[in-house]
Copies of this chain bind each other. A is one copy, B any other.
Amino acid sequence: VERSVFEGLDRVDPLAPFRDEFDIPDDGPIYLDGNSLGRPPRSAVAAVEAGLREWAIDLVGGWRRWVHLPESVGDRIGELLGARSGQVAVCDSTTVNLYKLASGALAARPGRGVIVGSAGDFPTDRYVLQGIAAASGHRLQLVGSSPSEGVDLDDLCRHINDDTALVCLSHVDYRSGARLDLTEVTEAVHRVGAMVLWDLCHSAGAVPVALDDSGADLAVGCTYKYLNAGPGAPGFLYVRTELQRDVAHPIWGWFGQSDQFAMGREYQRTEGAAGYLTGTPGVLALMAVDAAAGVTARAGIELLWAKSRELTDLLVRLITERLVPLGARLASPADPARRGAHIAVAHRQAWPWCASLVERGQVVGDFRPPDVLRLGPAPLYTRFVDLFDAVEKMAAVLSDGLPDGDFEARVT
């Protein structure tokens, strides 16, 4: 493919104007790691600055408004995820939310002894389930997952039965970008009477997630990837309304308490997603989530997903044409219908390749052990031409030969 094709796509891209809503330094590298940490929307920066002024002026009185942010920002995220009001709260981290909902789901399926996860899932998902199983006496069953194709659905179906309490899976695999069908898997899990808890970290803000329509029970995710709310921005959780009575909450805190400021003697979990809150929420961070999610909402998930598919399809084509002849290999599903919004390329020297591109100030992707370079072209601010230029630079580094010596492991 010629560079002019990519330039032409940028000219007709209806989302092109959104790039101007982000704070993007002129001389920076091509950034293909929005799936790890999104760029700052100017509106999110402005929201934090406004929050700092509110703190100075309103002082403790600001809480009259701030106290509702976990729910109101939750509803805003819920709209992006196909969830009606009262089911999503923005709070804590993905890890803590996973812990809360996985624990709560077990309480809703008493007498069932097995938790099912994926052996290839993101570490925190696997560790949280390990910890819960160790404490509760449940058995943790990890189903197989291929480095390039994600969870093996046949293996999953073989491993769930009437002893399964909970199945916890990522909608889009953090490494390969392999995407599961929310509805199909949810139905399979429901057929054996278990609950499903989805990790939406690599979907939220880029890949459509029709939570209500899919029948999903529970979900968690983060806001710092495609939702661009900043490093370590809070997580979110979703509990389907009909399940809120039965899904318990292990951490009984004052923000989950009914009639919170009456400070009553006995804990009584409040209604709605707010019942799954814990302690005092970070106000400035919630303001950033609200503003950042607003940019995604204005662009619209359908347009974002359409552009994302164009971007990843073209990226796969460039990888095949330019990088495979240099020893690289696609480490994402070959079938576009099974992909999310990021692409993985495997190479024996993926680590020095990734580090060298960063050190030269050319392309930022990220390394995932043992041999994967991950590329996430966030559709809100990535230009088509960025893909062409990035792959040229990636090819040049491989053609030059990779330098010897040590490279610091990248943290993302």
Residues of A within 8 A of B (CB): 23-25, 28, 31, 33, 36-37, 39-40, 45, 48-49, 52, 55-57, 59-64, 66-67, 92-96, 99, 122-124, 126-128, 130-131, 135, 222, 224, 230-235, 249-255, 257, 260-267, 278-286, 288, 358, 364, 366, 368-369, 408-412
Task: Please state if A93 and B63 are interface contacts (CB–CB under 8 Å).
Answer: no
* Most central of A124, A126, A257 by chain B CB within 10 Å: A124
Residue of B36, B49, B249, B284 near A231 (CB, 8 A) is B284
Task: Please state if B235 and A279 are interface contacts (CB–CB under 8 Å).
Answer: yes
* Set of chain B residues within 8 Å of A249, measured between Cβ atoms: 131
> CA of A252 to CA of B369 in the docked complex: distance in angstroms?
21
> CA of A195 to CA of B30 in the docked complex: distance in angstroms?
53
Task: Please state if A278 and B96 are interface contacts (CB–CB under 8 Å).
Answer: yes
* Set of chain B residues within 8 Å of A56, measured between Cβ atoms: 23-25, 39-40, 45
Task: Please state if A281 and B124 are interface contacts (CB–CB under 8 Å).
Answer: no
* Set of chain B residues within 8 Å of A279, measured between Cβ atoms: 92-96, 124, 235
Task: Please state if B48 and A254 are interface contacts (CB–CB under 8 Å).
Answer: no
Known: A94-B279, A123-B254. 19 other contacts (CB 8 A): A25-B57, A31-B59, A37-B60, A40-B56, A48-B284, A52-B230, A55-B230, A55-B231, A62-B231, A96-B278, A99-B278, A122-B254, A124-B279, A128-B253, A131-B251, A261-B409, A262-B369, A284-B284, A284-B288
Task: Please state if A37 and B52 are interface contacts (CB–CB under 8 Å).
Answer: no
Measured between C-beta atoms, what is the minimum distance from A265 to chain B in Å?
A: 8
Task: Please state if A127 and B267 are interface contacts (CB–CB under 8 Å).
Answer: yes
Task: Please state if A412 and B60 are interface contacts (CB–CB under 8 Å).
Answer: yes
Residue of chain B at shortest CB distance from A129: B252
Measured between C-beta atoms, what is the minimum distance from A380 to chain B in Å?
A: 14
* Set of chain B residues within 8 Å of A127, measured between Cβ atoms: 252-254, 257, 267
